[in-house]
Amino acid sequence: MMRSRRFPLALAVLLLAAGSSQPAHAYTPESPEVVQMVEAGIRYLRSDDVKLSRWSSEGTRILMAYAIFKYEHNPQDPVVQRGVFLAREMAAESRAEFKQRAHGVYETAVAALLLVEVGPEQYQAEARSLLDHLLSNQRAHGGLTYPTEQFGDISQTQYGTLAIWTLSKHGMRVDSNRLARLVDFLLRTQDPSGGWPYEATVAPSRQQLIRQSGRMNLSLAMGAGGSLLMAGELFGFWTLDDGNREGLEALPAAFKIAGKEEEFRRRVREAGATSEEIMAAINRLRPWLRNPTKNDRYYLYYRLYCEERYQSFLEVATGEKPEEPAWYNQGIEFLKANMADDGSWGSETPTANSDPPGIATSFAILFMIRSTQRAIGQMNEGIAQGGYGVPKDTTNIRLEGTQIKGAPVAGAVNELLVLMEEDGADELEGKSIPDDLQLAAAPEQRRKQLNRLTRLVRGSQSWQARRVAARLLGQSGELRVVPDLIYALSDPDVPTKRFARDGLRFISRRFDGFGMPDVPNEQEAREAQRAWRDWYRSLDPGYVFLDSDL
């Protein structure tokens, strides 16, 4: 495989390990160079040249589908559809068949992630089955491992934690004791120096850490640390959603998962984990990661994804969120230097220092798009991914152009919102909603109305509701709704795109906009989104767009 290297691999690894030197460039997931690399990687994953090894071919294809879906959010993509098919087949396996999988925990975790992202309601039973399979490998000490082993495997434990976090955030009930045991295992297997080994020896208690005999490396350390931070977010020790909870109070029952979340947190607290214990472990880890002598080359692309998860949850826990994190810039420089001519990463003859191209390229994409950071933001903003918990047909309003036909049934925005959010709103058919509705003048009430409208434009499966929400958001004149309208430019419904475009022009006072036509193709819509993102960041340079399909 021909490669174009801009600097030696060893230097790239040293930069990743040191985490201190500033690179020559600063990048974001929206930087043109990054977008080009992501899209080149996706083209490779769609090609017939993908090399499959180490994991089973099914596991690799599921990971490829997950990486593509996290960027494009298109369930109809052929690679995504194939991944969903394979994940559902895996979910149908018996426990005995699952035990025969060489990399069962890894593959099962990613299969569950894919299904719950693509269809949280549609595939909930399969995702539950996969999680049950995965947790069948949890040992008495709390860690996960291979079916035939008893030692605690830090690498597999982190993937189990990721699956629990993601499925819990999608509203699935998970036994809190399972997560508490994972946390206890991780707290008791940290080396006093701050790192974690692959095969861990469990200390007598959390207060009596012991020297670990196994080799420690960056991948495992960040995987374990990220898992602890992930669990802490589920416990409620640190979260981004506190400022949005009052918006949830006004939503219909379909949106309200907060009660389940609070119960989950209470049960985990009763199991004995504390935020102080978790942060003590992280404070031991952070200086260990900064040690520049740890120039290990253990599964480089696997490590990138570990680092992105760890750093994303560290931002949540500490509130430290640099606009241009050095670790991300260094990772992009490394990927630029090691990208193959066909858009892939990795080695066709992988060793413990690399991954086969199908796996490596998928991990590289997940790193570049900041997939964990976006997932955290989407979950904690209460956005219903793929319509989870949202009525499949919130309204039967008939919208023709900008006019809704029929007799009036709603004279205020709050009444309109209730109608759009209700289950079984068949009685709206043949009626109309006034075209001159005004948002509330009182700031607090207006803010809550905007919160509800943004959830509808992002999460409703009713095109009627999304059209009305996009129109009202655009008429609000509020700068805060610009990211939501940019998101709506990718809506499959053309009138919703048009309402979003017109709203952006009104709010920005750029009445010519950025040239998106009334009936744009996919490329024209994407170009408009990128232009509007650049405009918005000129006003708010620190803003991070959380929507992976932008």
Distance of CA 291 to the CA centre of its chain: 29
Q: Looking at residue 130, what is its pLDDT? A: 92
Q: How far apart are CA 492 and CA 514, in angstroms?
A: 19
- DSSP of 446-492: HHHHHHHHHHHHHH-S-HHHHHHHHHHHHHH--GGGHHHHHHHTT-S
How far is it, in rounded angstroms, from Cα 262 to Cα 248?
14
From CA 74, how far away is CA 531, in angstroms rounded? 22
* C-beta of residue 40 within 8 angstroms of C-beta of residue 364: no
Q: How far apart are the first and last CA of the chain?
A: 31
Give the pLDDT confidence score for residue 312 in this predicted structure.
93
Residue where the block lists tokens 């999608």: 170
Torsion sign, CA atoms 452, 457, 460, 463: positive
Which residues lie closer than 8 Å to 242 by C-beta, 6 or more apart? none
Q: Give the model's pLDDT for residue 517.
A: 85
Helical axes 413-421 vs 463-476, angle rounded to 10°: 150
Nearest to 396 by CA among 377, 379, 409, 382: 409
Q: Tokens in use for 500?
A: 């979003």
d(CA 240, CA 221): 24
User: In this structure, what DSSP letter does residue 432 have?
Assistant: E
Question: How large is the C-alpha radius of gyration of the chain?
Answer: 24
Q: Are 277 and 188 in contact (CB under 8 A)?
A: no
User: Which DSSP symbol is given to 349?
Assistant: S
**pLDDT of res. 68:** 95
Q: Supply the pLDDT for residue 276.
A: 87
Residues 6+ apart with CB under 8 A from 352: 298, 299
Distance CA 482, CA 507 (A): 8
Which segments of 250-289 does DSSP mark as H helices, in order?
258-270, 275-289
Query: What is the topology classification, in CATH, of domain 399-539?
Result: Leucine-rich Repeat Variant (1.25.10)
Say what the pLDDT of residue 250 is: 36
Residue 110 is predicted with a pLDDT of 95
At 527, the amino acid letter reads E
- DSSP of 102-147, one letter per residue? TTHHHHHHHHHHHHHHH-TTTTHHHHHHHHHHHHTTB-TTS-B--T
Q: Which DSSP category does 423 fall into?
A: S
The helix (run of H) or strand (run of E) holding residue 152 is strand 152-153
CA-wise closest residue to 472 among 442, 506, 517: 506
Q: Name the H helices within 19-77.
A: 32-46, 57-72
CA distance 433 to 416: 7
pLDDT digits (tens, 9 = 90+) for 291-329: 744 546 667 899 999 999 999 999 989 888 887 799 999
- pLDDT at res. 435: 53
Contact 414, 490 (CB under 8 A): no
Structure tokens at 75: 């369930």
**How far is Cα 116 from Cα 415, in angstroms, rounded to an integer?**
32
Strands 431-432 and 152-153: unpaired
Bridge-based pairing state of the strands 407-408 and 431-432: parallel
Give Cα 127 to chain centroid, integer Å. 16
pLDDT the model gives residue 51: 67
Give the containing element (helix H, strand E) for 407.
strand 407-408
Q: How many CB atoms lie within 10 A of CB 7?
A: 13
Exposure class string for 468-485: b at 16+ Cβ within 10 A, else e: bbbbbbbbbebeebbbbb
> 399 has which bridge partners?
404
Cβ atoms of residues 181 and 231 within 8 Å: no
pTM strictly above 0.85: no
Distance CA 41, CA 305 (A): 15
In this prediction, the residues of the chain whose per-residue pLDDT falls under 50 are: 1-23, 240-258, 292-293, 295, 381-411, 423-433, 548-550
Query: pLDDT tens digits for 335-366?
Result: 999 999 999 998 876 555 668 899 999 999 99
